[in-house]
């Protein structure tokens, strides 16, 4: 839900789309059920995900360093 909240806050999906997507996810009994989301909602999520770079983040190899946080 955090991702679709962020999509809404960035104006990448409408309040109505946010409500419909959130309701679909909340009522889905399995990941497979989520995949049955209506095409118009999937398209909205896909467009927003593309703008946010979600796919690029998921495909990026994990960092093997600590990012300078350990001393």
- This prediction has a pTM of 0.75
Domain membership of residue 33 (yes or no) is yes
pLDDT at 25: 94
Q: How many other C-beta atoms lie within 10 A of the C-beta of residue 18? A: 18
Domain with 18, as residue range(s), is 2-45
Domain membership of residue 23 (yes or no) is yes
* pLDDT band of 23, cuts 50, 70, 90: very high
Cα–Cα distance list, 9 to 2, 12, 22, 31, 55 (Å): 10, 8, 14, 25, 19
Domain total for the chain?
Answer: 1
* Mean pLDDT to the nearest integer, 39-43: 96
More confident residue, 33 or 59: 33
Domain membership of residue 30 (yes or no) is yes
Domain membership of residue 53 (yes or no) is no
How far, in Å, CA of 63 to CA of 40, rounded? 35
pLDDT at 48: 95
């Amino acid at each position: 839900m955090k991702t679709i909240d962020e999509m809404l806050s960035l104006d990448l999906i409408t309040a109505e789309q946010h409500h419909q997507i959130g309701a679909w996810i909340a009522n889905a009994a399995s990941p497979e059920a989520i995949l049955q989301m209506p095409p118009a909602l999937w398209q909205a999520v896909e467009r927003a995900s593309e703008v946010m770079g979600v796919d690029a983040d998921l495909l990026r190899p994990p960092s093997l360093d600590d990012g300078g946080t350990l001393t």
